[in-house]
Amino acid sequence: MVPVSTPDRAGLVSCAFVPMRLLSGRSTSAPRTAAQQVRRALAAVAGGRFAALPFPLVFWDGSVLPAAAGPADAPAIHVEREALGQLLHEPNQLGLTRAFVTGQLRFDGELREALALRNRFGGASLSPRELAAVGALALHLAGVDALRPPRVPDCELRPRGHRHSLRRDRDAVRHHYDVSNAFYRRLLGPTLVYSCAYFEDPDDPLDAAQERKLERICRKLRLEPGERLLDIGCGWGSLVRHAAEHHGVRAVGITVSERQAELARERVRDAGLADRVEIRVADYREVADGPYDKIASVGMYEHVGRAQLGAYAGQIAALLRPGGLALNHGISSLASSPAGAKSLIQRYVFPDGELQPVADVVAALQRAGLETRDVESMREHYALTLWRWLDNLEAHREAIVAEVGIERLRVWQLYMTGSALAFEDGDITIYQVIVARDGAAHGLPLSRGDLAADARAVAPGDGRA
């Protein structure tokens, strides 16, 4: 369990504008219901400036604070006493996340609907200090010790050490990917591809769309039999297996997750490709056996960080032969601001992960001597992929809870639902960028339409190159 700092009484008063007399002893004129307690706290702290959430709030005693915005049938949010404590001690996204993950905040209906309403109508116009004050006053009025620190979920991580050092990056990546291979099989399906699929139709089955994405990557890279392919951040080995089976390459896949590597090697052996595919536990900075003819990095650069982006691009260039091609497939920021240290993403999902504008990625690759040849946006494809993964979570809910616990399930529900909406809204996006080293010898076609050709030409599992 990650410890949290406990504010002393004086510190709480100064940061949250809570009058000392309201925190010393039990109020003799406390309102009768929790809704009245919260309403009184809001009035004391924010007066008439408070813009209520677009949902009714249902409190632990059954009392309701009606919505002031949004549709009449908006789903309700159920609030336990402990949720107010979370917001008092962390009056930000981290406090809300902890309350949701521990079950202290619950939504009626689908989480997708609730988050979409939150994005559309906005929320309380309170600063973090004012939000803390509301929590403190409401807890006081309810007769609860406002200074007692609330429980922090076990699945929260606060990385230690120098940011983006080899050790800290390993710890951050393993926090996410070493959850359980059984969990990821249920979440991702049999392809075990943890990046966006490529859909021709919104109703395409997920597995077919993932196979199509793997084939498009291979065709964009113009893979030829006998070439050496490096897959940076190979996950469970799906791309290197596909490339070796269908395109006859010799492939090396690297990951810093021991559990991923273990299952990837098993899948390579089961496919009869152990003589052509090697899986290593290594960071991209530790690869020194170039040159490679082609390099793929799919869903990995997000872990690199802005400060290391130049070194990442330089390593790709150093490992690529003259005339070789590389593909970087990664999420980029559009309208979103960087995730703060106390966000859902940083504490529960991808610690130290950073999204960069695609222009910065392209510029870093260019500075490393790599010529940009093609950039493709796949934003809509990732939203569709995330909704499919959420369907898988729900379909296997009982088994997933038994495997990793209800709190980790809630983390994935919250992060994937929020991410799907962010892709749909154009807040974040994803690009595939093709680059060539010493571009004159790259061998790419004249027509962009021929770049990926027809990914349906190789059906899943047909074994043709």
| pLDDT tens per residue, range 255-283 | 999 999 999 999 999 999 999 999 999 99
Q: Are 225 and 272 in contact (CB under 8 A)?
A: no
Average pLDDT over residues 303-316: 94
Nearest-angstrom CA–CA distance, 345 and 428: 14
Average pLDDT over residues 233-254: 97
Kindly report the backbone phi and psi dihedral angles of residue 340, in degrees, each rounded to the nearest multiple of 5, phi listed first: -75, 165
Nearest-angstrom CA–CA distance, 179 and 409: 11
Strand order in the sheet with 64-65: 64-65, 57-59, 77-79, 105-107
Res 426 pLDDT > 70:
yes
Domains and CATH numbers, the chain: 9-141 (no CATH), 166-457 (3.40.50.150)
Positive or negative, the Cα torsion across 331, 335, 338, 340?
Answer: negative
Average pLDDT over residues 231-244: 97
Q: Are 211 and 460 in contact (CB under 8 A)?
A: yes
**Among 223-237, 239-253, 369-383, 426-440, the least confident range:** 426-440
pTM (2 d.p.): 0.86
Nearest-angstrom CA–CA distance, 252 and 237: 9
Chain mean pLDDT for the chain: 83
Nearest-angstrom CA–CA distance, 456 and 127: 52
Res 18 pLDDT > 80:
no
Where are the strands (E) in 237-313, listed by range? 250-255, 277-281, 292-298
Question: Radius of gyration (Cα) for the chain, nearest Å?
Answer: 25
Core vs surface per residue 315-351: b (16+ CB within 10 A) or e: bbbebbbeebbbbbbbbbbeeeeebeebebbbbbbbb
DSSP state of 316: H
434 — pLDDT class (breaks 50, 70, 90): very high
